[in-house]
């Protein structure tokens, strides 16, 4: 794909629930000329998500949705995405499971980053489970989202070695550093096909 500039960039929403370090790395990526996307919207299910501060810092619109009534909320969310002409959704530490109908509506347009070498360790507590199983390697995966949890087509993975005295915390930190590089690479990969 040729370089996209300014308003030609693909309008993207990033969904977060927590710290938002992947959001931050994606924002940094969008500041580079090679980025095919621009982040227009930050969505969170959590009013207290630390990552929401990046909305203020980088002047990106942010919206908080309460997912208690999923159907109702997703309908409002769809309107918001439409109104902002969002074409791509990047889940970045977003801890809600989106409904099948929402995912179908945005088929092929939702990406997720997951802290394991999928298909191993879908779901939560990935680092703990990898350590308990005495795995030699773990890592992270960027994949398309389909209606089965953490099961969509894999775009890119990065492997990291698990050291002898590795803890859940040290492994999480090490993998997060790789996540920050992998997500932009995966976006470049899908838009250069
Ligand atoms: C990241 O490690 C991400 O892979 C993980 O949550 C963390 C969010 O960190 N996502 C999941 O576990 C999704 N199932 P961040 O808020 O600092 O980007």
Q: Which percentage of the chain shows pLDDT scores above 90?
A: 95
Average pLDDT over residues 101-124: 98
CA atoms of 188 and 97, how far apart (whole Å): 26
Average pLDDT over residues 30-50: 97
Average pLDDT over residues 113-132: 98
pLDDT at position 192 is: 84
Helix, strand or coil for residue 155?
A: strand
For ligand 1, the distance from its centroid to the CA atom of residue 172, given in whole angstroms, is 9
51 ligand 1 Cβ < 6 A: yes
Nearest 5 degrees, angle CA 130-CA 133-CA 138? 30
Average pLDDT, the chain: 97
CA atoms of 94 and 85, how far apart (whole Å): 21
Domains and CATH numbers, the chain: 1-106 (3.40.50.170), 114-193 (3.40.50.170)
The answer to whether 70 and 97 are in contact (CB under 8 A) is no
Q: Give the closest residue (by CA) to ligand 1 atom 10.
A: 93
CA atoms of 69 and 85, how far apart (whole Å): 24
The DSSP-derived string for 115-147 is: SS-TTSS-SS-HHHHHHHTT-SEEEEEEEE--S
CA atoms of 170 and 157, how far apart (whole Å): 19
The answer to whether 23 and 41 are in contact (CB under 8 A) is no
Q: Radius of gyration over alpha carbons of the chain, in Å?
A: 16
Average pLDDT over residues 100-128: 98
Specify the DSSP element, H or E, that contains 92.
none
113 ligand 1 Cβ < 6 A: yes
Given a cut of 70, is residue 135 above it in pLDDT? yes
21 ligand 1 Cβ < 6 A: yes
For ligand 1, the distance from its centroid to the CA atom of residue 62, given in whole angstroms, is 19
pLDDT at position 193 is: 56
Residue 62 burial class via C-beta count within 10 angstroms: exposed 0-12, middle 13-18, buried 19 and up: middle
pLDDT at position 1 is: 67
pLDDT at position 71 is: 96
Residues assigned a catalytic role = 114
SS3 letters across 16-68: ECCCCHHHHHHHHHHCCCCCCEEEEEEEECCCCCHHHHHHHHCCCEEEECCCC
Given a cut of 60, is residue 7 above it in pLDDT? yes
19 ligand 1 Cβ < 6 A: yes
Average pLDDT over residues 159-170: 98
Ligand 1 atom nearest 24 alpha carbon: 18
């Amino acid at each position: 794909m040729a370089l996209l500039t300014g308003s030609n960039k693909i309008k993207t929403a990033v969904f977060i629930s927590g710290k938002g370090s992947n959001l931050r790395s994606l924002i940094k990526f969008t500041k580079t000329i090679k980025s095919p996307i621009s982040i227009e919207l930050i969505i969170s299910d959590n009013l207290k998500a630390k990552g929401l501060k990046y909305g203020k810092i980088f002047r990106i619109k942010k919206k908080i949705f309460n997912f208690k009534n999923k159907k109702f909320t997703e309908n409002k969310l769809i309107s918001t995405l439409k109104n902002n002409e969002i074409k791509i959704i990047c889940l970045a530490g977003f801890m809600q499971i989106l409904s099948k109908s929402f995912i179908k509506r945005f088929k092929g347009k939702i990406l997720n980053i997951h802290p394991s070498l999928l298909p191993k360790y879908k779901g939560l507590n990935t680092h703990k489970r990898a350590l308990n199983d005495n795995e030699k390697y773990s890592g992270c995966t960027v994949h398309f989202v389909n209606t089965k949890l953490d099961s969509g087509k894999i775009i890119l993975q990065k492997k990291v070695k698990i050291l002898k005295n590795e803890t859940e915390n040290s492994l999480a930190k090490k993998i997060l550093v790789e996540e920050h590089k992998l997500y932009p690479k995966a976006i470049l990969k899908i838009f250069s096909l």
